[in-house]
Amino acid sequence: MTLTQLLPFRADNLRSAWLALGFMVLLGGLIGAVGWATGVIGSPSPPAEFDVYVNMGSRAGTEAMARDLNQQHPAGTDLVPLLNRLARAGFDCRADYRQTSSYACLYHRMMSDRRVARVDMTILTDGMRVRSITPVLVVGTR
């Protein structure tokens, strides 16, 4: 038996295998770089602004959210910054057709652990000024 029969690869076959392996590594690196640059691969998105209240639970989260929002946007302050903040956080705020001078805001978010967070918020106004903010947070499982 000769040495060439013992070695399954010849020099030209071994070179082709190295070229194929190199091409696969290069292609994998390119796919990884594109995935990282487009955000498909990488760190998870930061938590949403109101996830702190969701993690507290329905009752404690509702109380804490009402306290914080009424402290940060007390009665008599301008309505527009509050509506802009809520819109950036993912709330859908609309003028409430049932009551004049009020807004109904809705927040709905699927959490990673099969929980669903829903916030129904009523904002009473005097024209363009905040009178009161009343959120109701409900956290349930799907």
Encoded tokens for 101: 């001078």
Measured CA distances, 109 to 59, 72, 114 (Å): 17, 23, 10
Encoded tokens for 33: 């770089």
Burial class (CB in 10 A: 0-12, 13-18, 19+), 96: middle
Full-model pTM: 0.64
As a whole number of angstroms, the distance between CA 116 and CA 142 comes to 6
Angle at the Cα of 83 from the Cα atoms of 97 and 113, rounded to 5 degrees: 95
DSSP character at residue 100: T
For the chain, list residues with pLDDT below 50.
Answer: none
Query: In a 3-state reduction of DSSP, which class is residue 96?
Result: coil
Q: Which residue has the tokens 């696969």?
A: 24
As a whole number of angstroms, the distance between CA 81 and CA 95 comes to 16
Q: What residue type is assigned to position 63 of the chain?
A: E
pLDDT, residue 132, reads 93
Residues 62 and 137: beta-carbon distance below 8 Å: yes
Encoded tokens for 100: 């004049």
